[in-house]
Chains A and B, each alone.
Chain A
Amino acid sequence: MAEKKEDWAAIARNPKFEELHKRKAYFLFGWWIFSNIYYFLLPIGAGAAPGLFSVKLIGNINFGYLFALSQFFVSWAIAIYYLVWANKVSDRLTRELIDELKLQ
């Protein structure tokens, strides 16, 4: 299949594309770093502050259990937030770019 040769360097310099990849990079790496810091607090905290992890909060349920459980909800929240953000921002910018350049 003969494909039209795109001028990729020109697309890469297109302001729309620059906006798209900058916003994506900030969002994706930013939340990725947040998620990792939050995750590594768990093993580090359990090793460094076992006293804090043992504090009973509700009945026999302690801080450590709730903190470990919160990891699941934080990961899910990031996933959902990303889904919403991508629909609103990156998918829209991508569509606009493709329409503007009449790309396939």
Chain B
Amino acid sequence: MKRLIVTLTLALTLGLIIVHLSAPGMVLAGPESAISTAIVAQAAPAKAAAPTKVEAHKGITITMFIIIVLITMYIVFWAAKRTKTTADFYAARGAITGWQNGWAIAGDYMSAASFLGIAGLICLYGYDGFMYSVGWLVAYVTVLLIVAEPCRNAGKYTMGDILAFRSSPKPVRAAAAFSTVCVSIFYLTAQMVGAGMLMKLLLGIPFKFAIAGVGGLMIVYVALGGMIATTWVQIIKAGLLMFGAILLSLLVAAKAGFNPLQFFHDVATNTQISEWVRVQLLKDAVAQPGFDYGQRFLEPGLLLKDVWDQISLGMALVLGTAGMPHILMRFFTVPTAQAARKSVIIAMFLIGTFYILTTLLGFGSAIHVTPQISWAVDKGGNMSNLLLAQMLGNSFYPLAGDLLLAFLCAVAFATILAVVSGLVLAASAAISHDIYVSLIKGGKADQHEQVRAARITSICVGAIAVIIGILAEGQNVAHLVALAFAVASAGNLPTVVLSLFWRKMNTAGIVAGLLVGTVLSIVLVMVSPNMMYPKMIAAGDQKIYTGLEKKQAGGATLTDTEKAEMTRANASYEKNKDGTSFIFGLDKPLFGLKNPGIVSIPAGFLAAIIFSLLFRSKKEEDAFDELYVRQNTGVGMAKAMEH
């Protein structure tokens, strides 16, 4: 039966890709198109017609995809045979070593947004992109010092286990599952839409097929192989990602003669970068005399302009990472607190090294690809690493660029698979372990039934993720990542930390903290500038329209682009002038920041504290000693593991 499912899904996934490849009208992009991109980029980037897309060599890329799928499928089979109990399915029997878990955490955490997005931000906005990446590593200091070891010592499979240790299990598990599913679905949707767009951009695979393919694979990994397979997919992905980043960095460094001073000199004196900063970023039509626009690229303030928004984002990252259910879950896979500690430190070195290399790649793309071309290919700069790989590879050896590009596409593919698998596993664990087994079955389900429930849940969660991903095509989903971190930092983290460290924390506090943190974060994002406000769009269109109208009335003849722009602005104005924002029906944002953390995190803490004090529970306070001794020493954990 299991084999049948695997074979079917595998066949379906590959079939979709291959059928599409051989479909009429699909011309395989030969190496010539790729090389021409590189030549254009090298010769005269601003003057030549900039390429508008990056073409991966389909044959090579698909072969690499298939190799990755085959290797991971082999692991899934191997893992499926070893997945019999709930301890196997949710926690890989607690038999993952510190080293393995370190790589798996890195693989779980670094998404395609880290690999492609941050380098793109650096390529387009310079220093601010680098500054943005810092918080993603610093967040692990909180994970290491505050949550990793206590969670290992006090938990079993899910966040709900830690929270329900001394409180009333039913309401607490229900609230914990609610916030876990919220975080996972937000993050998952962003990843799925990203995957669909990436595959469409790189290989021309239609959005729906790409999402169905990624979703199918993810369901097989999780439903059959559980945590063991997910862990190994993440380890392989982290290895591929680090290898790709190091290889590409070496090429960039070689171009600057392995001299960091030369490298930054190249950035500051690059005429394309200077022009980009002057025209696009600072909007100086005429250069100010004596102003060094190239050096300006290495200074802050070109992208991140609102300090409060940055502080708010920083808070969500620093506290949210430690409240991410798929990251917390990784600590249940190691046998001891020492192994948990070691794994976080290994993950920190991997993640930190990766982000430092990302700087090199981002600035390298700015020098070699130029921001102009990166922007022309993708407005978020997401393709700059890939353009860079193709260009630098080809400049060393013909065709090497295509190989390198294909390899990096495969890395991006593996990256997405590893992250979504971790998320699906976390969401399914919350539903099957916290809701089905503990709430509905009252804890009375045998191992066989529990594992079956977990498998069915992961298939359902995966299918829902695919459907949401397909429905979200063309939507701006970037704010969903911020939302996931906001919920994790305002809902999950306060309740986990207070449960572990504060005697008076109780059921009322946990439920209130989780609900207030989660709901407030969602509401604040829905009334923030992240959403679309049709009346504001209409006002902008009206301005463009009347401006052009005046120009026309003044006797000037409009160019064709201006005419088209006028028609577009008018149509868009008519469409948007009576509209209001999604659900809340607003004309303009009520909350000025894109990241709600600065309000929702204190609110989550306050709600948890106030409700705990309002509804004191002597029984739960007495049970604190046991939890506190256990989380500090790990006593009793060895026994719990044997079950």
Contacts and interface: CB of A to CB of B under 8 A. Distances in A.
A is bound by B: yes
A44 to B, nearest CB: 6
A37 to B, nearest CB: 11
A12 B629 contact: yes
A47 B310 contact: yes
Given A46-B304, A104-B639, A53 B299 contact: yes
B609 to A, nearest CB: 17
Range class of the A interface residue count: 35 or more
B183 interface: no
Interface string B342-365: 101100110010011000000000
A69 B625 contact: no
A60 B261 contact: yes
A103 B635 contact: yes
Given A43-B310, A64-B298, A32 B142 contact: yes
B558 interface: no
Nearest to A87: B338
A68 interface: yes
B635 A72 contact: no
B165 to A, nearest CB: 12
Given A6-B636, A64-B300, 20 more contacts: A24-B632, A32-B141, A35-B145, A40-B311, A44-B307, A47-B300, A48-B307, A54-B295, A58-B261, A60-B295, A61-B298, A68-B131, A68-B134, A72-B134, A75-B138, A76-B348, A76-B349, A78-B144, A86-B341, A98-B635
16 contacts: A8-B629, A9-B625, A12-B628, A12-B629, A40-B311, A47-B300, A48-B307, A60-B267, A61-B298, A64-B127, A64-B300, A68-B130, A71-B138, A78-B145, A83-B341, A98-B635
Given A72-B134, A83-B345, A31 B145 contact: yes
Contacts of B260: 61
Interface residues of B, number: 54
Contacts of A40: 311, 314
Contacts of A20: 632-633
Interface of A: 1, 3, 6, 8-9, 11-12, 17, 20-21, 24, 28-29, 31-32, 35-36, 39-40, 42-44, 46-48, 50, 53-54, 56, 58-62, 64-65, 68-69, 71-72, 75-76, 78-80, 82-83, 86, 91, 94, 97-98, 103-104
B311 A43 contact: yes
Given A64-B300, A83-B345, A21 B632 contact: yes
* A-B pairs, 9 with minimum CB distance: A47-B307, A46-B300, A8-B626, A43-B310, A60-B264, A59-B261, A8-B625, A12-B625, A35-B141
A61 B632 contact: no
Contacts of A44: 307, 311
A99 to B, nearest CB: 12
B131 A61 contact: no
A11 to B, nearest CB: 5
B3 interface: no
A69 B356 contact: yes
Contacts of B634: 94
A86 to B, nearest CB: 6
Contacts of B130: 65, 68
Contacts of B356: 69, 72
The majority secondary structure among interface residues of chain B is: helix
B639 A42 contact: no
B48 to A, nearest CB: 28
Contacts of A68: 127, 130-131, 134
B628 A72 contact: no
Contacts of B142: 32, 35
Nearest to A10: B625
Contacts of A50: 299-301
A3 B639 contact: yes
Contacts of A8: 625-626, 629
A28 B150 CA distance: 12
B629 A32 contact: no
Nearest to A58: B261
Contact of A91 (B264, B307, B338): B338
A42 B131 contact: yes
Contact of B636 (A9, A24, A69, A104): A104
Given A32-B146, A46-B304, A79-B141, A1 B639 contact: yes
A71 B314 CA distance: 13
B135 interface: yes
B267 to A, nearest CB: 7
B291 to A, nearest CB: 12
B642 A1 contact: yes
Given A32-B142, A94-B633, A71 B134 contact: yes
Contacts of A61: 260-261, 264, 298
Contacts of B379: none
Nearest to A80: B345
B137 interface: yes
B607 to A, nearest CB: 22
A4 to B, nearest CB: 10
B318 interface: yes
B643 interface: yes
B324 to A, nearest CB: 17
